[in-house]
Amino acid sequence: MSNLRLGVEVVSAHSLMPKDGQGSANAFVELQFDGQKYRTTTKEKDLNPVWNESFYFNISDPGNLSYLNLEAYVYNHLKTTNTKSFLGKVRLTGTSFVPYSDAAVLHYPLEKRGIFSRVKGELGLKVYLTNDPSIRSSSPPLSTESSVFSGSQAAQTQGPVEQVQNMVQNIVQAAFSNDKGKAEARHTFHHLPNTAVSQQQHSSAPVSQEPARFGADQMRAEPQGPRIMRMFSGSGSQPIDYQLKETSPILGGGQVVGGRVIRAEKPASTYDLVEKMHYLFVRVVKARDLPTMDVTGSLDPFVEVRVGNYKGITKHFAKTKNPEWNEVFAFAGDTIQSSFLEVVVKDKDMLKDDLVGFVRFDLSDVPTRVPPDSPLAPEWYRIENSKGERKFGELMLAVWFGTQADEAFPDAWHSDAASHHDGSAAGSSHIRSKVYHSPRLWYLRVSVLGAQDLVIPDKNRFPDVYVKVQVGNQILKTKPTQARNLNAVWNEDLIFVVAEPFEDHLIMSVEDRVGPNKDETIGKAIIPMNAIEKRAEVRHDDRIDRSRWFHLEKASVLDVDQTKKDKKDKFASRLCLCLFLEGGYHVHDESTHYSSDLRPSLKQLWVRTPSIGVLELGILNADGLPPVKSRDQKLTSDTYCVAKYGQKWVRTRTIMNSLSPKYNEQYTWEVYDPATVITIGVFDNSQVGESPGNRDTKIGKVRIRISTLETGRVYTHSYPLLVVHPSGVKKMGELHLAIRFSCTSWLNTMLIYTRPLLPKMHYIKPFSIMQQDMLRHQAVNIVAARLSRSEPPLRKEVVEYMSDIDSHLWSMRRSKANFFRLMSVFSGLIAVGKWFGEVCIWKKPITTGLVHVLFVMLVCFPELILPTVFLYMFLIGLWNYRFRARYPPHMNTKISYADNVHPDELDEEFDTFPTSRSSELVRMRYDRLRSVAGRIQTVVGDIASQGERLQHLLSWRDPRATAIFLVFCLLVALFLYITPFQVLVLVTGLFLMRHPRFRGRLPSAPINFFRRLPAKTDSML
């Protein structure tokens, strides 16, 4: 019998509907799940009851968990009739249940039972799964037929709850075992234990493999060259070499023409966005009964796999006749120049390796495997020695032809990715393709409220104390305060970024500032991160209800791993804190303009943002890459690509010694919000070759916004890798990509446009701009540190470049670019103003006459104004449909103001922080910045002067001007009382559009009067 149970903690309710006739209610909660029913105690005369009671339900069939529902009914107990009245209900589906480690208290709005129900308020519940055998179901359960007022109360069970991540994963895999093969074939990235995501993957799999949309996976022997179209940017032309180029490659699904796939003869494979590449796979499993080659009788065997000029080598084992390697070698089919395959077993020696034996295969006899066929079973082959004898030793091998869709492809040694200097499979760990998962980030809110009974050595002074909080490398301090009665009050919030699994402790220390740059530690407290509560939203009473006192320990006796404290070293001081892991926020680990994930940290809230589609990316090839290093007296590069979307990072294999590498790897992501961006970067691998350990060189990157992609269309473009260098903008080559967005739920996609972009906590309790920049910097450092611990590591410079960690630094070029972007936004209004000015001066009499007629019609029929405006916008949008962009937007040198930037401005942009330039150069740049700021200062002052003149119309700062304006207001008010509003608008419009013959050359009287009003410029120093 399974130990899996559902735990439900009924915390509290808020703002319930009064039902007892006296403005209150006697509330209790009734829980129903899987045929079991429990109820809480009754809280009398309380519209905001607090229970904090826990119940545990048995789960009869864990495989059926996703189809079960938890229902919580809130009732009012009527004592006079011993009956109950309905106050509201909450219904949770089984797909929203998470392990205890991911659970938090959520406040659900109460729902109606029927159309005529009167319900308000919310119910706070904490729902989780546990398989702790020490926890038993709550007893006695309430019978569904018996009365709920039998007088018995549900027993509360308090006990330790352990994490059940593996159990939930097994349940999800059991429930969706039929789609396991498809999911693996698509390289879909699963987010467990959220079963809702798995269901979305289950429902979206047929969409990505629809035979009517994709073509065959049979490549032609001699495919025609791609047709290149020149694409122009709508926001300004730029050099042809910097523009996006549309291509028509032949992919695994057929040839792509205009975003549509022309199907071939056979149905499409799961790798239909990349060109099909043939490989010869050789799996070397193990050997047995190998003969001894040395006089000592020892054998250090290893295997060489040879195909033509390419050679792969396994690792060697010392002193064994029955080694086990289990290594796979993949030889590119287009580079095979031999008709035979040789698998040679050798004995490792200091001077020369001895031949033990070999096995030879004719490539014409090698079978072809096409997924989803099962893996080819390895066979035992007798090895042949140099004399042609097959007496001793056998080698277990599996040899087959396949494509990059083979499951052995990611972990295999590749002939097109391996260095000529290192043909071993063990030395290829840094060049293999991998998928990484960035850690789940949380905001840690530390509310430092106060301290009591501070003990200091010097009793003759009041301590000047502050609190220093440290989490890993992050250190924040409160403001110092003087504790006159040895008690201190701060009431400050400090925010940190932490990552799961939590490895660092929260270290609190109270410091006493005894002198300049001299602090003494009064006491410390170390709090494990797992002991801090997770919450979904901030409530106004959390500081009062959830604050805790922590005793401070002397720094000399404090030990992180100390479990038993010495009673002789008791310390009287204590610190009042309110600690929470904020699950209602999204932790930004990338630039807010290029976010790829907007979901909150708490997994329970992910149910509210279901998947809306699937994003498929095919990284085809790169062309024209710059040489980064020299090898064998030749300039070359060892490049790989990295793609990031959401928490999933992918890295292609490294192609050695090639300036035009072919990757042909395909990856898949679940999409939860169309307002997100996928980033693809190209890097040179410096961890292999002659100088490992250097920083990987950044070559360029591409960003694609999901909302700009049409559903179901395959975009095949060659993206120029444009990078700004100190010498100017440069093209670092081209990256050929194929991308497709498949929408799985049109309803959810339409609804997502009406929801807030970020989780609601960003609007209820937002962070300041400085806090956001600091927290984003800390988040990027944490993600980079975690991914650098993977194998192979995703290096820190790669993560920082993909996350745009330096996007907030000052740049004169970007400042000018943003200014011109702002001018282009207002260019439409400026154009309308110029057009209206031409109408007023009768530059085109026919146009002016038509405007007069339209103006008179709108004044006479004002109810036509809004319909006319919206109809006009509809017609404009319909007209612009034929000129819509047919490709995703890309880097534009004109918009970026990178085509004519001054070299000194680029040198300033690439300067370090703090600066490393000479004092004369820094002084010159500072003077230039002062001149620019002076012009901005003048503009801001002029705007402020106009606003102050408006304020002084009624302030009597100029008595005569105010008196004139008051008399004018009185006359206008009397005139408007007797004049219809339509007549006033008509006269005003015709006066503004009067003929130039009736216009003067001097400014009008109202403008002259306004300009004579005083401003506060006279009072400025």
Residue 221 pLDDT > 70, yes or no?
Answer: no
Residue 75 near residue 32 (C-beta atoms within 8 A): no
Q: What is the pLDDT of residue 691?
A: 58
Residue 193 pLDDT > 50, yes or no?
Answer: no
What's the burial of 934, exposed, middle or buried (CB within 10 Å: 0-12/13-18/19+)? exposed
Return the biggest CA–CA distance within the chain: 123
Residue 394 pLDDT > 70, yes or no?
Answer: yes
Q: What angle do the packed helices 165-175 and 195-208 form, to 10 degrees?
A: 30
Q: What is the pLDDT of residue 499?
A: 94
Bridge partners for 341 per DSSP: 361
Q: Count the Cβ atoms, other than its own, within 10 Å of residue 43.
A: 20
Alpha-carbon distance of 443 to 585, in angstroms, equals: 7
pLDDT: is 410 or 744 the higher one? 744
Provide, rounded to the nearest whole percent, the portion of the chain with pLDDT above 70: 85
CA distances from 203 to 172, 182, 713, 747 (A): 14, 11, 19, 15
Query: Which residue, among 606, 503, 559, has the nearest Cα to 198 in the 3D structure?
Result: 606
Question: Which helix or strand (DSSP H or E) is residue 853 part of?
Answer: helix 845-860
Alpha-carbon distance of 189 to 201, in angstroms, equals: 9
Residue 199 pLDDT > 70, yes or no?
Answer: no
Identity at 559, one-letter amino acid code: D
Q: What is the pLDDT of residue 901?
A: 84
Alpha-carbon distance of 642 to 658, in angstroms, equals: 17
Using pLDDT thresholds of 50, 70 and 90, give the confidence band for residue 709.
very high
Using pLDDT thresholds of 50, 70 and 90, give the confidence band for residue 203.
very low
pLDDT: is 779 or 100 the higher one? 779
Query: Which residue, among 522, 465, 456, 511, has the nearest Cα to 488 in the 3D structure?
Result: 465
Alpha-carbon distance of 977 to 984, in angstroms, equals: 11
- List pLDDT tens digits, range 11-52: 999 989 998 778 889 999 999 998 899 999 999 989 999 999
- Please state the pTM of the whole predicted model: 0.77
Residue 608 near residue 672 (C-beta atoms within 8 A): no
Q: What is the pLDDT of residue 984?
A: 85
Residue 730 near residue 722 (C-beta atoms within 8 A): yes
Average pLDDT, stretch 382-390? Answer: 85
Residue 796 near residue 780 (C-beta atoms within 8 A): no
Q: What is the pLDDT of residue 706?
A: 94
- List pLDDT tens digits, range 830-874: 888 898 888 888 888 898 899 889 888 888 888 888 888 899 899
Q: What is the pLDDT of residue 318?
A: 87
Annotate 14-46 with three-state secondary structure: ECCCCCCCCCCCCEEEEEEECCEEEECCCECCC
CA distances from 614 to 33, 267, 669, 715, 745 (A): 34, 20, 6, 15, 10
Query: Which residue, among 369, 587, 358, 417, has the nearest Cα to 495 in the 3D structure?
Result: 587
Residue 86 pLDDT > 70, yes or no?
Answer: yes
Residue 212 near residue 253 (C-beta atoms within 8 A): no
Mean pLDDT of the chain: 82
Alpha-carbon distance of 748 to 771, in angstroms, equals: 33
Q: Count the Cβ atoms, other than its own, within 10 Å of residue 121.
A: 19
CA distances from 880 to 355, 717, 873, 874 (A): 73, 23, 11, 10
Query: Which residue, among 760, 740, 717, has the nearest Cα to 621 in the 3D structure?
Result: 717
Q: What is the pLDDT of residue 529?
A: 92
Q: What is the pLDDT of residue 705?
A: 93
Q: Return the exposure string of 677-693: e unless at least 16 CB atoms fall within 10 Å of the residue's CB, then b.
A: bbbbbbbbbbbbbeeee
Q: What is the pLDDT of residue 138?
A: 67
Bridge partners for 941 per DSSP: none
Q: What is the pLDDT of residue 100?
A: 86
pLDDT: is 473 or 166 the higher one? 473
Q: What is the pLDDT of residue 933?
A: 87
Query: Which residue, among 468, 464, 488, 466, has the nearest Cα to 479 in the 3D structure?
Result: 466
Alpha-carbon distance of 808 to 593, in angstroms, equals: 11
Q: What is the pLDDT of residue 190?
A: 37
Query: Which residue, among 824, 416, 485, 462, has the nearest Cα to 639 in the 3D structure?
Result: 416
Q: What is the pLDDT of residue 146?
A: 41
Provide, rounded to the nearest whole percent, the portion of the chain with pLDDT above 90: 36
Average pLDDT, stretch 79-85? Answer: 87
Annotate 136-194 with three-state secondary structure: CCCCCCCCCCCCCCCCCCCCCCCCCCCCCHHHHHHHHHHHCHHHHHHHHHCCCCCCCCC
Q: What is the pLDDT of residue 125?
A: 93
Tokens linked to 325: 């390697």
Residue 808 pLDDT > 70, yes or no?
Answer: yes
Residue 428 pLDDT > 80, yes or no?
Answer: no
Question: Which helix or strand (DSSP H or E) is residue 51 part of?
Answer: strand 50-58
- List pLDDT tens digits, range 171-192: 334 433 444 333 333 333 333 3
- List pLDDT tens digits, range 541-578: 677 778 899 998 876 555 544 444 444 455 578 999 99
pLDDT: is 802 or 809 the higher one? 802
Using pLDDT thresholds of 50, 70 and 90, give the confidence band for residue 118.
confident
CA distances from 982 to 14, 869, 987 (A): 52, 19, 9
In the DSSP assignment, the letter for residue 408 is: T
Alpha-carbon distance of 895 to 144, in angstroms, equals: 68
Query: Which residue, among 87, 91, 93, 92, has the nearest Cα to 121 in the 3D structure?
Result: 87
Query: Which residue, among 721, 714, 730, 719, has the nearest Cα to 700 in the 3D structure?
Result: 721
Residue 609 pLDDT > 90, yes or no?
Answer: no
Q: What is the pLDDT of residue 476?
A: 95
Q: Count the Cβ atoms, other than its own, within 10 Å of residue 552.
A: 24
CA angle 64, 68, 73 (to 5 degrees): 165
Alpha-carbon distance of 323 to 356, in angstroms, equals: 13
Residue 571 near residue 523 (C-beta atoms within 8 A): yes
Average pLDDT, stretch 336-342? Answer: 89
Edge-to-edge order in the sheet of strand 434-437: 434-437, 648-651, 639-645, 677-684, 697-705
Residue 642 near residue 680 (C-beta atoms within 8 A): yes
